[in-house]
């Protein structure tokens, strides 16, 4: 049985209140302070956070909801978030929605039941209607990476349209005219990136035929299959923009398997810099999200909402710029 505040009361002869005050950073006479500290040491006392939570109405827990914990992106996010929260003494409750809208709704309720002090979410639902219970319970929610189409919450991520625009521009600048895209048209980020691709093409006066737009839910398989299809076309593209990490990985694998190589046979620029890109040669051009910054910003916003429990004023949206990192996977088509 762990020691309680009562044990240290008996040991020091002080009252519960004094000890409690000390524990919460209040002023206590030096000699009492010493007394308490000694007792804590001896008894290996540690505050029972769940008891404290009952009275302060805080659990020192936050919930993190991810659309798919098996995705590479989630792992990275979770890494940074758990690090940030640990520093602040918060526990991180994880919920996996495995890309299922219904499950996500239940997860939210589950977390609310657990009395989390706040929620960080990488949502699968495009609509934010299901988040209402959190708002009603005035549990702050911060969105990461993806936002809703119909409701506003605090958000931290990148400007996806712009990132894609800039990535595709890199191909255009290198005089590519036949540029394809592999991305999602059913997820928030994918849709924005698709738009970025289309804008860039349009603005450069280049055609963006449907056969060059391979869409579906972001996945390794989408990248793999689409890349093979693109390269098998009668009139294949010379450059391909891959819309996220999974598709990038799949696309790379496909090119390799076909015995082709970049930038000689095909130019590519991918998205999201996780493990693989560190090691693949020739190095691949990448639109890189600042994961660490995104997470620490999201945590910062969440924490301030938790602390000032004032009603949500107006949602804040933070968009970082993606870094377009240089590689050797784009060939200049004019130097032919």
Judged by CB, which is closer to a copy of itself: 154, or 246?
A: 246
Instruction: State the pairing for strand pair 91-96/239-242.
Output: unpaired
- Distance (Å, rounded) from C-alpha 140 to C-alpha 204? 42
Scanning residues 19 to 78, which ones bind a copy of itself (CB under 8 A)? 46, 48-51, 53-54, 59-61, 64, 69-72, 74-76, 78
- Distance (Å, rounded) from C-alpha 279 to C-alpha 252? 12
- In which element (H, E) is residue 320 found? strand 317-320
Reduce the secondary structure of 227-277 to three states and give it as a string: HHHHHCCCCCCCEEEECCHHHHHHHHHHHHHCCCCCCCCCEEEEECCCHHH
Among 16, 29, 137, 233, binds a copy of itself (CB under 8 A): 137
- Distance (Å, rounded) from C-alpha 50 to C-alpha 139? 18
- Residue 310 found at the interface with a copy of itself (CB under 8 A): no
Stretch that binds DNA, among 9-17, 137-145, 241-249, 252-260 (CB under 7 A): 9-17
Judged by CB, which is closer to a copy of itself: 192, or 273?
A: 273
Among 48, 127, 138, 203, binds DNA (CB under 7 A): 48
Judged by CB, which is closer to a copy of itself: 84, or 187?
A: 84
Stretch that binds DNA, among 45-53, 67-75, 180-188, 288-296 (CB under 7 A): 45-53
- In which element (H, E) is residue 318 found? strand 317-320
Shortest distance, position 1 Cβ to a copy of itself, whole Å: 9
3-state helix, strand, coil in the chain (%, to 5): 45, 15, 35
Give the x-and-dash track for 267-306 against a copy of itself (CB under 8 A): -------xxx-xxxx-------------------------
Alpha carbon distances (Å) from 12 to 29, 36, 45, 144, 323: 13, 7, 13, 48, 58
How many CA atoms lie less than 13 Å away from 58 in the CB half-sphere?
Answer: 15
Instruction: State the pairing for strand pair 285-288/323-325.
Output: antiparallel
Residues that bind a copy of itself (CB under 8 A): 2, 46, 48-51, 53-54, 59-61, 64, 69-72, 74-76, 78-79, 82-83, 86, 91-96, 98, 107, 110-111, 113-115, 137, 220-221, 224-225, 246, 249-250, 252-253, 256-257, 259, 261, 274-276, 278-281
Residues that bind DNA (CB under 7 A): 1, 4-6, 13-18, 20-21, 23-24, 26-29, 32, 47-48, 51-52, 54-57
């Amino acid at each position: 049985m762990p020691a309680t505040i009562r044990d240290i009361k008996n040991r020091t002869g002080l009252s519960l209140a004094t000890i409690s005050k000390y524990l919460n950073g209040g002023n206590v006479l030096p000699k009492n302070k010493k007394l308490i500290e000694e007792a804590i040491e001896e008894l290996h006392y540690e505050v029972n956070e769940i008891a404290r939570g009952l009275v302060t109405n805080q659990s020192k827990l936050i919930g993190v909801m991810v659309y798919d914990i098996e995705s590479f992106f989630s792992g990275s996010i979770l890494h940074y978030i758990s690090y940030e929260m640990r520093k602040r003494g918060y526990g991180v409750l994880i919920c996996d929605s495995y890309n299922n809208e219904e499950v996500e709704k239940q997860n939210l309720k589950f977390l609310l039941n657990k009395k989390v002090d706040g929620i960080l979410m990488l949502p699968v639902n495009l609509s934010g209607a299901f988040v209402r219970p959190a708002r009603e319970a005035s549990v702050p929610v911060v969105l990461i990476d993806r936002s809703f189409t119909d409701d506003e919450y605090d958000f931290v991520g990148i400007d996806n349209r712009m990132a894609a625009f800039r990535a595709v521009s890199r191909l255009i600048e290198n005089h590519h005219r036949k540029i394809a895209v592999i991305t999602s048209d059913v997820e928030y980020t994918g849709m924005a990136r698709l738009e970025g691709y289309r804008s860039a093409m349009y603005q450069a006066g280049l055609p963006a035929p449907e056969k060059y737009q391979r869409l579906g839910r972001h996945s390794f398989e989408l990248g793999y299959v689409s890349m093979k299809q693109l390269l098998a076309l009668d009139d294949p593209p010379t450059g391909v923009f891959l819309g996220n990490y999974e598709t990038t990985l799949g696309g790379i694998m496909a090119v390799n398997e076909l015995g082709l190589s970049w930038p000689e046979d095909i130019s590519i620029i991918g998205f999201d810099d996780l493990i693989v890109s560190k090691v693949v040669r020739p190095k691949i051009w990448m639109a890189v999200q600042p994961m660490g910054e995104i997470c620490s910003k999201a945590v910062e916003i969440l924490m301030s909402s938790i602390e000032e429990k004032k009603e949500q004023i107006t949602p804040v949206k933070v968009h970082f710029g993606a870094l377009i990192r240089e590689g050797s996977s784009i060939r200049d088509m004019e130097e032919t």
